[in-house]
Amino acid sequence: MAKIRIGILGFGTVGGGVYKTLRNFDNVEIKKILVRDITKPRNISPEDKSLLTDKPDEIITNPEIDVVVELMGGIEPAGNYIKTAIEHGKHIVTANKELLAKQGKDLFEFAEKYNKVILYEAAIAGGIPVIMPVKTILAGNKITKIQAILNGTTNYILTKMDKDGADYSAVLKEAQEMGYAEADPTSDVEGFDAAYKITTLATIAFGKRVHIENVYREGISKIKLDDIKAANDLGHKIKLIALATIDEQGRADVRVHPMLVPENLTLAHIDYVTNAVEISGHPIGKIVLSGPGAGEFPTASSVVGDILAIAAEFGKTDYILPMMRCNHSQEAIPVDIKDTVNKYYLSFTAPNTQGIIGKLGTLCAEHNISLQSIMQKGVKDDNTANIVVITELCREEDIRNVIAEFKECTLNSLIRVAI
């Protein structure tokens, strides 16, 4: 069997996992691996040290390389390297969720112009196979809803807050010490990472292009331990959920934010760094794919799977993997968050005086909001009390109007409830 020859851009955690995994396959040959510092000690066999290079052109313009595996992350120089590699006749495998979310349309059209394929299973949910199943096995379904936990760092933090009763800052520090969170955790804890992933996944699942600038994003940094406890009392768990729905008119509601997830739902029990993707459609109904969403070997599993998919067809046809190519000629119509309909968990700090709860109920009624429950929890030394409200389904714009008018109280938390 002829070997497919690859070059790897980036030799971090995932790159190392790909290198180790590919040693088990005789039909793939690593020709070169791009690193920033060629003198840095690395976990690589002595006989393979000659594979390392700090010169990108030894990979992206090298005529002896068939597939470029981009594991650098970020927009540049990764985007430019990919385009140059395509121009020089290489297929692409990437794990770069940010690049796909921001420049995916341009990259896929560019690849099609040169009759090259871009595969990106590792960019969405680490080791969980999602993209290929959606494009192949689930291709006969009309997918209308995705609810997913796509970020292991935030899921770890929320799980530890729940199980250990620790506050956000303490758990974040622990996650950084254990390597689950970066020194600058913004991309994870503020929802950027999950937003990049759901943008691409929704585009693939709905067959209509979703743009990252239309994805509402809210992270977990404002979640308090009191919210975790209140959610438990209400029979829910708080999770950072990536949600995407589409209606018959092609209107796509795509967003990332914390949700109260009822304990009878599978996603409520996806804990620590595990990820999960729940897909709803017809005729399949509802399925949940779950597993490790990051890490050396889980992500390498998806990268190597993409490499082998190309290897299986390489040299056998002039147009490989047609089902895996981009075919999104239509744009999804974005839905603004203020026009969405949700249930809400609201926590207020209120003065312990008569009529406060009554006024809140009146304001909600004036804005067409029905309350599922309302409770006051204790009185503090400063004569204030905590009021917790769960609403029935209502418009986001209406709930914001109530909050703006309920000036006697301080809003502590607003979290949407999964439905």
Q: How would you class 106 by CB atoms within 10 Å of its CB: exposed for 0-12, middle for 13-18, buried for 19 or more?
A: exposed
52/260 Cα distance (integer angstroms): 47
194/41 Cα distance (integer angstroms): 33
Provide the 3-class DSSP secondary structure of residue 364.
helix
What is the reported pLDDT for 204?
A: 96
What is the reported pLDDT for 328?
A: 76
What is the reported pLDDT for 1?
A: 57
pTM beyond 0.85: the answer is: yes
What is the reported pLDDT for 352?
A: 85
Query: Quick check: 238 and 258 in contact, CB under 8 A?
Result: yes
22/35 Cα distance (integer angstroms): 18
Assign residue 24 the CATH number of its domain. Answer: 3.40.50.720
Query: Quick check: 243 and 254 in contact, CB under 8 A?
Result: yes
365/345 Cα distance (integer angstroms): 17
Query: What six digits make up the tokens of 379?
Result: 């009185």
Strands 384-391 and 341-351: antiparallel
Sequence-distant (≥ 6) Cβ neighbours of residue 222 within 8 angstroms: 413
User: Could you tell me if residue 331 is inside a domain?
Assistant: no
Strands 341-351 and 394-395: antiparallel
Query: What six digits make up the tokens of 290?
Result: 């779950």
Q: Are residues 372 and 312 part of one domain?
A: no
Is 197 among the residues known to form the active site?
yes
Taking only Cα atoms into account, the Rg of the chain, rounded to an integer number of angstroms, comes to 24
What is the reported pLDDT for 375?
A: 85
Q: Are residues 62 and 136 part of one domain?
A: no
Residue ranges making up the domain that contains 274: 131-292
334/71 Cα distance (integer angstroms): 30
Q: Are residues 170 and 96 part of one domain?
A: no
Q: Are residues 303 and 271 part of one domain?
A: no
Query: Quick check: 85 and 112 in contact, CB under 8 A?
Result: no
Q: Are residues 71 and 92 part of one domain?
A: yes
Instruction: Spell out, as residue ranges, where the chain has pLDDT lower than 50.
Output: none
What is the reported pLDDT for 6?
A: 98
Q: Are residues 374 and 320 part of one domain?
A: no
HSE-CB for 203 with a 13 A CA cutoff: 29
User: Could you tell me if residue 333 is inside a domain?
Assistant: no
Q: Are residues 301 and 282 part of one domain?
A: no
User: Could you tell me if residue 329 is inside a domain?
Assistant: no
Selected catalytic residue, list 197, 208, 237, 239: 197
Q: Are residues 153 and 39 part of one domain?
A: no
CA of residue 9 relative to chain centroid, distance: 22
What is the reported pLDDT for 179?
A: 84
Query: Quick check: 16 and 8 in contact, CB under 8 A?
Result: no
Q: How would you class 128 by CB atoms within 10 Å of its CB: exposed for 0-12, middle for 13-18, buried for 19 or more?
A: buried
Starting from the edge strand earliest in sequence, which strands make up the sheet with 91-94, in order? 52-53, 28-34, 4-9, 67-70, 91-94, 118-119
The string of DSSP codes covering 237-287 is: EEEEEEEEEE-TT-EEEEEEEEEEEETTSGGGG--TTEEEEEEEEETTEEE
Q: Are residues 91 and 26 part of one domain?
A: yes
Q: Are residues 150 and 85 part of one domain?
A: no
Assign residue 360 the CATH number of its domain. Answer: 3.30.70.260
User: Could you tell me if residue 282 is inside a domain?
Assistant: yes
Query: Quick check: 155 and 273 in contact, CB under 8 A?
Result: yes
User: Could you tell me if residue 65 is inside a domain?
Assistant: yes
User: Could you tell me if residue 332 is inside a domain?
Assistant: no
The string of DSSP codes covering 177-210 is: HTTSS-SS-HHHHTSHHHHHHHHHHHHHHHTSB-
User: Could you tell me if residue 330 is inside a domain?
Assistant: no
Q: Are residues 284 and 140 part of one domain?
A: yes
Assign residue 232 the CATH number of its domain. Answer: 3.30.360.10
Strands 384-391 and 371-379: antiparallel
pLDDT, tens digit, 9 for 90 and up, residues 35-60? 999 999 888 988 899 999 999 999 99
Q: Are residues 111 and 163 part of one domain?
A: no
Domains in the chain, number: 3
